[in-house]
Structure 1
Amino acid sequence: MSVSVSDAAASEVGSGRFLRFWTAQTVSQAGQRFGLVALPVVAIDTLHAGAAEVGYLTAALTVCYLLIGLPAGAWVDRWSKRSTMIAAAVVRAAVLAGIPVLWAFDRLSLVWLYAVAVIVGVASVFFDVAYQSYVPFIVADKDIERANARLESSAQISAAGGPAVAGLLLKAVSAPVVIAVDALAYVVCAGFLTTVKDSEPSRRAKEGEDSRLARDILDGVRFVVGHPVLRRLCVTVGVSNFFATLAMTLTPLLILRTLGLGSTVMGVVLGVGTLGGLLASLTLPKVRARFDAGKVMAVGLVLAGFSMAAFPLAGTLAGSATVIPVALLVLGQFGMTWGAVTFNIAQVSVRQRVCPKNMLARMTASIRFVVWGSMPVAAVLAGWLGTHIGIVPCLWIGVVGGFLTALPVIGMDRLIRSAAPAPASGV
């Protein structure tokens, strides 16, 4: 049975339920950006981690998609997605709050940091699967792309302001203290989510399906593999994330050690650069009104790959005037996030439109199993390559691989047009 948003107010992107959800996600994103800047700084500056240890930390945050990504999708399709997000936010707040506590008592170590990263990663799996499956239950199908664009715009504002503010805070207080802001943001996020009402039914109660987990997981995987649009998107996003992770894992080391710019400059560079993502989210609805989704996705990926080259290029200028590598990093981050966000909004919206609503979580989890599952492998590989061949050569490998990611989406518009909006599936 097809599920739709029942009341007229909920069909609009400006409705109260969407605005409260949007606020919750914005607060969560802002805090998360603090953590993304502060965690590697804790590892590098406080615990004296090298390239390999930073790679392990990134892997700890993402390996959970390989371990529980697929069953998470089956579970979230059974559970209330809103309740799942609330629980995940609370768990992340609790474990992140432990970092400044352990640091204050001189008990913080890399082992503890890895453990916190794994727990945060597990909670993030459930939150992200529920989050990307939730939008069709609070807005009408015609508003999905606009809703995703607005959500992404706030994410990019957070990405722009979060690292910059974190960088300034890191100048005044220690990195473990900055992570406490991340924990507080998740508490606020959970509070706003408790006020959101949606049209999601109790799937098991209404459909009376058996509760075998293995069957649900297999149904989700088969659906993605058998769907021509979702299959290509899965390959594209998986390859893209692999090479982006390869490059981005070593970016803090590039900025802090190779270029010697310091954590404050790192936060400002990443924050200012990600304004490109905000521009992408604001312009995408108009771009999509003129061009098909496949073309938009391909151009976004090519732009991201081209812009990523600024990072290793800046690394070759170590020892030169500071303004030159900083300018390259800002321009590279600006273009990379512009292209990546353009691609991401378009591909997520396509996925949500072609997938039955009662398969959304399993579809999302199946794709994220591949996408995020590739990230710990790339992170560990980045640590090994950074140690053995150097940071800059490893970044160039990421750039070359980034250009390859556009290949699966070339000529994809015909497939998208032939994929009519899907009704609820019996699988």
Structure 2
Amino acid sequence: MTSAPTTTAPVDAKGRWPRSFQLLYAAALVDGIGFHVSQLAVPVLAVSLLAATPGQVGLLSALSTAAFLLIGLPAGVWVDRLPHRAVLVTADLSRAALVASVPVAWWAGWLTIPQLYLVVLLTGVGTVFADVAAQSYLPELVGRSRLVAANSLMMSTNATMQIAGRGLGGLVVEALTAPVAVVVDAVTFAVSGAILARIRTDASRRLPPRATGGFARQLGAGVRHVFASPLLRPLALSTASINLTMQLTTTMLPVVFLRELGLGAAALGLFLGAGGIGALLGALTARPLAERIGHGRALWLPGLLVAPLGGLVALIDDGPMVWLAAFGWLALAWRTGIGNVVGVSLRQGTTPDALLGRMNATFRFLLTGALTVGAVAAGLLGQYVDVRTTLVVGAVANGLTWLPVFCSPLRALHRPPPTD
């Protein structure tokens, strides 16, 4: 299968990013703030205002990503059939309306845990389409030759939003209550959709050929592309493992901070913000690291190096241990930031344009599905064993997640091969 000619980015005379990518970037910037505020505010709202149990917190987290398991794979086929910008705008505006229903219900006195379950599940459906469409749109907007640079910019921005969004979320929750923090997310979804609606791509650029065959055949082509590849298969297994083990920890952190340690939402936001700092450092160092030691080594060596530091998170406690745990969390996020930039660029750079939506959907199904499994496992362990054991299991398992890449041909890959 041949790919569309997207190897050359439509840059201006000064070498600046094309305006279409600038708008996509601006939308991600706005949306990222609200998303990370809400990511902190919703579980805090459930724990502090609705008295949610550890099991309910786990289920809430699982439902936020369950849509990737339910419709993740077919979403790739639909995205390959639809204009990417239209998918992005529709997803943003739909999520704005859904998220806005939470503070409205709270102020009316109607908010319940079941409503939170429904909102996070349906919002997750919008996120499925938005994530797959955005990653499939990027090669068209910047060209394949600039994918690593573009992904580095996008990932570093997302990491910055983790720092600002979660820190801001903690402060807003502490000062103005969690429902007000959720309002921020609704507004940013709406603003992001308005920005994306302004994208005008070059109509003269040839679109990739439309996939042929029935729906099931098209879906299967994307799955086969990932699992038949000696490069993409280990990448998928490793990254899914990272997501699952990190989720074991993330899901229980609100319970640890708010109930066990009594440190409050602001402290939780600052702790999670340390992860944002790590992800930002990872995104910024990914490109020079990959160029120096090769893309393959950049995907497994950082995981080996930070494996012992993950145990610090499981030992979190009052006093100095909070700072040591935050350092461990930063180190884990640094490794993840590197993997996001290098891994996503590898996926996009080795996949023909006509398969991008289905390839990205397959990865999102696996990676975000792993978050769902991790959240469910965290809820069960936290409810029926204890919260601390959940953190230990997450730390130990995370220390092994670099092995699928190390035990594959991806281990020593210097640069991704071009698409066929």
TM-score normalised over the length of structure 2: 0.94
CA contact (8 A) 2:312 2:324 kept: yes
Deviation at 1:258, TM superposition (A): 1.8
Q: Measure, in 1, the Cα distance between the counterparts of 2:298 and 2:3.
A: 29
2:111 partner SS: coil
Deviation at 1:409, TM superposition (A): 0.9
Q: Measure, in 2, the Cα distance between the counterparts of 1:116 and 1:271.
A: 25
State the partner residue of 2:268: 266
Among 324, 328, 342, the alignment partner of 2:324 is: 328
Deviation at 1:248, TM superposition (A): 1.3
Deviation at 1:199, TM superposition (A): 5.1
Instruction: Between 17-26 and 3-12, report the one with greater CA deviation.
Output: 3-12
Deviation at 1:103, TM superposition (A): 0.2
Q: Which amino acid is 1:358 matched to?
A: A
Q: Measure, in 2, the Cα distance between the counterparts of 1:409 and 1:176.
A: 42
CA contact (8 A) 1:13 1:147 kept: no
> For each residue in 1:167-210, what CA deviation from the matched residue of structure 2 results, as whole angstroms up to 9, or x when unmatched?
1111221101110100101111111111223358786xx74654
State the partner residue of 1:119: 122
CA contact (8 A) 1:221 1:363 kept: yes
1:243 partner SS: helix
State the partner residue of 2:351: 355
1:197 partner SS: coil
State the partner residue of 1:43: 46
Q: Measure, in 1, the Cα distance between the counterparts of 2:9 and 2:71.
A: 35
Q: Measure, in 1, the Cα distance between the counterparts of 2:403 and 2:275.
A: 26
Deviation at 1:377, TM superposition (A): 2.1
1:63 partner SS: helix
Deviation at 1:10, TM superposition (A): 7.1
Aligned ranges 1:23-422 → 2 under 5 Å: 23-198=26-201, 207=209, 209-210=211-212, 212-314=214-316, 317=317, 322-410=318-406, 412-413=409-410, 416=413, 420-422=417-419
CA contact (8 A) 2:72 2:361 kept: yes
Deviation at 1:408, TM superposition (A): 1.1
Q: Measure, in 2, the Cα distance between the counterparts of 1:291 and 1:91.
A: 43
CA contact (8 A) 1:145 1:349 kept: yes
Cα distance change on mapping 1:407 and 1:52 into 2, 3 Å: same
CA contact (8 A) 1:301 1:343 kept: no
Determine what percentage of the aligned residue pairs are the same residue: 33
Cα distance change on mapping 1:392 and 1:10 into 2, 3 Å: farther
Q: Measure, in 1, the Cα distance between the counterparts of 2:71 and 2:146.
A: 31
Deviation at 1:219, TM superposition (A): 0.9
Q: Measure, in 1, the Cα distance between the counterparts of 2:398 and 2:125.
A: 27
Cα distance change on mapping 1:76 and 1:13 into 2, 3 Å: farther
Cα distance change on mapping 1:10 and 1:291 into 2, 3 Å: farther
Deviation at 1:150, TM superposition (A): 0.4
Deviation at 1:301, TM superposition (A): 2.4
TM-score normalised over the length of structure 1: 0.92
Listed as ranges, the gaps of 5+ residues in structure 2 are none
2:48 partner SS: helix
2:58 partner SS: helix
Deviation at 1:419, TM superposition (A): 6.0
CA contact (8 A) 2:161 2:276 kept: no
Listed as ranges, the gaps of 5+ residues in structure 1 are none
Instruction: Between 255-264 and 406-415, report the one with greater CA deviation.
Output: 406-415
Runs of 4+ in 1 over 6 A off after TM superposition: none
2:5 partner SS: coil
CA contact (8 A) 1:138 1:199 kept: no
CA contact (8 A) 1:297 1:342 kept: yes
Cα distance change on mapping 1:418 and 1:170 into 2, 3 Å: closer
Cα distance change on mapping 1:7 and 1:133 into 2, 3 Å: closer
Deviation at 1:368, TM superposition (A): 1.8
Cα distance change on mapping 1:202 and 1:184 into 2, 3 Å: farther
Deviation at 1:414, TM superposition (A): 6.5
CA contact (8 A) 1:228 1:415 kept: no
Q: Which amino acid is 2:136 matched to?
A: S
Deviation at 1:2, TM superposition (A): 2.6
CA contact (8 A) 1:243 1:378 kept: yes
Deviation at 1:281, TM superposition (A): 1.6
Deviation at 1:299, TM superposition (A): 2.2
